Structure 1
Amino acid sequence: MTKQSRVAVITGSNRGLGYAIAKKLGQTQGIQVIVTSRGEVEGRVAQEKLAQEGVSADYHSLDVTNEESVQAFTAWLKQMYGKVDILINNAGVNPTRQIEESSVLTVKLETMLSTFATNALAVARISQALIGLMKEQNYGRIVNISTEMASLTATPNDNYPLAPSYRLSKLGLNGVTVILAKELQETNILVNAYSPGWMQTDMGGENAPFTPEEGAETAVYLATLPEGGAQGKFFAEMRKSGGAIELNW
């Protein structure tokens, strides 16, 4: 890594979309990728796989739902790199396949709470920990992985499952995105969200129409925005839309 390299942290990047984002960013000139995961074994396997594909990635364990883990990761990041330029908030859960998730009248409230803690509160936690490093150099790109299912404008007429825990957690994530963008609007720290589409991952299943690599395209676009780029926006998956198309919140 050179002093000019951008340091990119991708949460939950040992597999699926997170891995695809790490690979694409790592193949982008001037970006040093840091892979993270809760389990170190899985993370080290991903790091080695990236190396075999020509991407030199660093690794550190990170559980975004755990304050001690976030603080330990932040301390390591400061010691090793002294900065962070890009944060991709990819780590998340989706309990939609549980039968209780077919209705807001049957959903288990403990599932709703735990999903919200991972998909929304954890993004606020890691943002609190790392944005200070971005402010020091007045540069940052934060990309939050959301879903079209979290568009309040589209929800009344969409054809997606009701999925109350997942939808509400991603609504919370969208709220974090908008509030952070508002707070940081006078800086060169750009915060946006996007929907990667239905992908062939463990979460999406093998019948999904998009690959993780296709889903990663918008993340790379938003992670490398120029100064004065989009701030506080919600984007669709680029392959589906043919470009960076904004969605309604």
Structure 2
Amino acid sequence: MTADQNPNEQTHAHTTAGTAADGRTIALVTGANKGIGYEIAVGLGALGWSVGVGARDDGRREAAVRRLTEDGVDAFGVPLDVTDDASVAAAARLIEERAGRLDVLVNNAGVTGAAPQEPTRVALDTVRTAVETNVIGVIRVTNALLPLLRRSASPRIVNMSSTVGSLTRQTTPGAETGPISAAYAASKTFLNAVTVQYAKELRDTGILINAGCPGYCATDLNGFRGVRTPQQGAAVAIRLASLPDGGPTGAFYDDEGVVPW
């Protein structure tokens, strides 16, 4: 399968690949205590997977795990601040002790950053914060968990991006690209570029890594102004997380298919 094919057309072969003795695929979703991340955990749990709920806030994380468990999901909490080296290292140790490997990593945690974000007005700290979480955080978590992913028979990495990071769309007259943003949008462009570089390095390893856009969902990230539900936004991540062996890698998707870089 090539990167220009639509993963929506593929079967969820990964639901039976790379599983533990009890038949469960092991996944970790960062920023999973609410919004799109929580719905990704719901969707992966519905596949019969064991899902780690990565989140900084102890109370929200425990509440999310409780809700998921009550709904029949094999969920477990993973204390995780993607901007903190020690926190990420501890999360990797927790997963290794619990499962011995990781099959799927969904890098969902992200921030929009404060206003204003016009490049002539944006505070440098706003840009730093967006890049630290949305880009460096993804690299930090991915690298810490790669040893565990390499132990999987069918490892998958999904980076939650946004079409506002598409330079093609940003430079297409009349295209809907959201507000001018030198922090959030630029950080997603950076994340897309990093995703491509990972795919190039890992191409011969069996690890599939792709970027996915959930669309403009109503979450606290945007003050609930979005027009899609978090459940709708989670769909692309669930598809990319469950790609079959030989599926695409180093590509960018939304619900309609391939997004141009």
Higher relative contact order (CA 8 A, sep 6+): 2
CA distance in 2, matches of 1:224, 1:216: 13
- The residue identity in structure 2 corresponding to 1:110 is D
2:236 aligned with 1:224: no
* Alignment partner of 1:129 out of 131, 144, 163: 144
Alignment of 1:176-187 (within 5 A): 176-187=194-205
Match of residue 67 from structure 1: 85
Match of residue 60 from structure 2: 42
CA distance in 2, matches of 1:2, 1:153: 41
2:243 aligned with 1:247: no
- The residue identity in structure 1 corresponding to 2:64 is A
Match of residue 126 from structure 2: 111
CA distance in 1, matches of 2:59, 2:97: 23
Q: CA deviation at 1:136?
A: 3.0
Unaligned runs of 5+ in 1: none
Check conservation: 1:138, 1:189, Cα contact below 8 A: no
Check conservation: 2:88, 2:144, Cα contact below 8 A: yes
Tell me, what secondary structure is at the counterpart of 2:211?
A: strand
Match of residue 7 from structure 2: none
- The residue identity in structure 1 corresponding to 2:167 is L
* Alignment partner of 1:139 out of 142, 149, 154: 154
TM-score, length of structure 2 as denominator length = 0.88
Match of residue 224 from structure 2: 206
Q: CA deviation at 1:95?
A: 2.2
CA distance in 1, matches of 2:230, 2:54: 17
Unaligned runs of 5+ in 2: 1-18
- The residue identity in structure 1 corresponding to 2:260 is N
2:77 aligned with 1:77: no
Aligned residues between the structures: 239
Check conservation: 1:20, 1:216, Cα contact below 8 A: yes
Identity of aligned residues (%): 37
Alignment of 1:49-60 (within 5 A): 49-60=67-78
Q: CA deviation at 1:76?
A: 1.2
CA distance in 2, matches of 1:248, 1:117: 24
Tell me, what secondary structure is at the counterpart of 1:154?
A: helix
Match of residue 164 from structure 1: 182
2:166 aligned with 1:151: yes
Q: Deviations over 1:123-164 (max 9, x none)?
A: 001111111122234531000000000001110233310111
Q: Deviations over 1:43-79 (max 9, x none)?
A: 0011111122222201121001100001111111111
CA distance in 2, matches of 1:47, 1:194: 24
Match of residue 10 from structure 2: none
